[in-house]
């Protein structure tokens, strides 16, 4: 499914930080590594030389350089993705400010709307071994929107030969009441049902119900405990965790998770 790993380059150290993780992902998935830059027409030759040196240094088995003198960053990315089968975009973000602040605002919305497809985010806490294969963690809230990430997460796990963890985070303000009323049984039945519906190609699927006053911290903590290298998040949702996934929780997860965060544009799925 994943045939091309595209890295948008803009000459900044922040953007360059995605190069090593992207190259490693490309090797593990037997995909091509595509270095993309929107450039001024006068700078094409200089940019080609620069990216050629970077590509050689990364040692990717298959690589490609794409220079776009006609479009801005989002347009160049849109065209590069649409022209390549199985494309996934790998990019860095601060998570809480700079690109990160924009990523979960208008710029992100534009990129996800115009480009589509999966994005892999590399946050500032990303460790050198961020791409070492580990389970894929998928936080859900019971809505169809949050569940829309599941096919992509399952494909990601299958491509890397790793398992999945399906979790849900109870509303922190009602956690005690929910447990006293036996609510965990309902939540457990929900994540167990979702886990049981995952494709048989996924090596293993486990589930858990989490509780805590800080949803993002709970997610990151659980990922660390279980060695989950990738957290897959839906970008929209209405209830529970999904209500904040597109804002502070996703931003904090990207900022604090030492691995990768997998996101994609979700369809306008209604929640019955």
Which pTM does this prediction carry?
A: 0.86
Backbone angles phi, psi at 67, to 5 degrees: -115, 125
What's the confidence (pLDDT) of residue 254? Answer: 83
For position 167, what pLDDT does the model report? 94
- Inter-residue contact 134 to 162 (CB < 8 Å): yes
4-92 with 136-264: one CATH topology?
yes
The pLDDT value given to residue 242? 36
Q: CA of 74: how far to CAs of 208, 237, 248, in Å?
A: 38, 24, 23
pLDDT of residue 39: 94
In this prediction, residue 142 carries a pLDDT of 83
Written as one string, the DSSP assignment of the chain is ---EEEEE--S-HHHHTTHHHHHHHHHHHT-EEEEEEE--GGGHHHHHHHHHHHHHHHT-SSEEEEEESSS-HHHHHHHHHHTSTTEEEEEE--SSSTHHHHHTSHHHHHHHHHH-SEEEEE-TT--TTTTS--PEEEEE-SSHHHHTTHHHHHHHHHHHT--EEEEEE--GGGHHHHHHTTHHHHHHHHHHHHHHTS-TTSS-EEEEEE--S-HHHHHHHHHHHHT--EEEEES--SSHHHHHHTTHHHHHHHHH-SSEEEEEPPP-----
Please provide the size of the chain in residues: 272
Tokens standing for 169?
């985070």
- The answer to whether domain 4-92 has CATH 3.40.50.1820 is no
* Per-block mean pLDDT, blocks of 10 residues, the chain (272 long): 92 86 94 96 96 93 95 90 94 57 46 79 83 90 86 96 92 58 70 95 95 86 96 63 49 87 71 48
Note the pLDDT of residue 19: 94
Tracing tokens 């597109």 back to the chain, one arrives at: 246
pLDDT of residue 33: 97
- How many angstroms separate the CA atoms of 117 and 95, rounded? 20
pLDDT of residue 102: 40
* Residue whose C-alpha is closest to residue 257's, from 142, 147, 95: 95
Q: What is the pLDDT of residue 185?
A: 65
Domain boundaries of the chain, sorted by first residue? 4-92, 136-264
The class (CATH top level) of 136-264 is alpha beta
Count of CA atoms in the C-beta half-sphere (13 A) of 191: 23
Instruction: Give the Cα separation of 196 and 206 in Å (integer).
Output: 9
């Amino acid at each position: 499914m994943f045939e091309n790993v595209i890295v948008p380059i803009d000459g900044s150290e922040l953007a360059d930080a995605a190069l090593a993780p992207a190259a490693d992902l490309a090797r593990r998935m037997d995909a091509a590594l595509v270095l993309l830059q929107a450039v001024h027409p006068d700078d094409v030759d200089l940019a080609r030389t620069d990216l050629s040196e970077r590509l050689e240094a990364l040692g990717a088995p298959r690589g490609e350089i794409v220079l776009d003198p006609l479009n801005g960053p989002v347009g160049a990315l849109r065209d590069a993705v649409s022209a390549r089968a199985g494309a996934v975009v790998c990019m860095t973000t601060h998570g809480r400010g700079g690109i990160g602040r924009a990523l979960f605002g208008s710029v992100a919305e534009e990129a996800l709307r115009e480009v589509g497809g999966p994005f892999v985010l590399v946050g500032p806490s990303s460790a050198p071994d961020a791409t070492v294969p580990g389970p894929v963690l998928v936080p859900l809230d019971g809505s169809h929107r949050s569940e829309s990430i599941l096919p992509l997460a399952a494909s990601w796990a299958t491509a890397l030969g790793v398992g999945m963890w399906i979790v849900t985070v109870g509303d922190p303000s009602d956690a005690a009441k929910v447990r006293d009323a036996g609510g965990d049984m309902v939540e457990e039945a929900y994540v167990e049902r979702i886990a049981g519906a995952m494709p048989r190609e996924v090596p293993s699927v486990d589930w858990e119900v989490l509780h805590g006053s800080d949803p993002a911290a709970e997610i990151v903590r659980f990922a660390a405990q279980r060695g989950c290298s990738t957290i897959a998040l839906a970008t929209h949702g209405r209830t529970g965790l999904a209500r904040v996934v597109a804002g502070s929780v996703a931003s904090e997860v990207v900022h604090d998770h030492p691995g990768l965060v997998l996101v994609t544009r979700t369809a306008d799925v209604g929640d019955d």
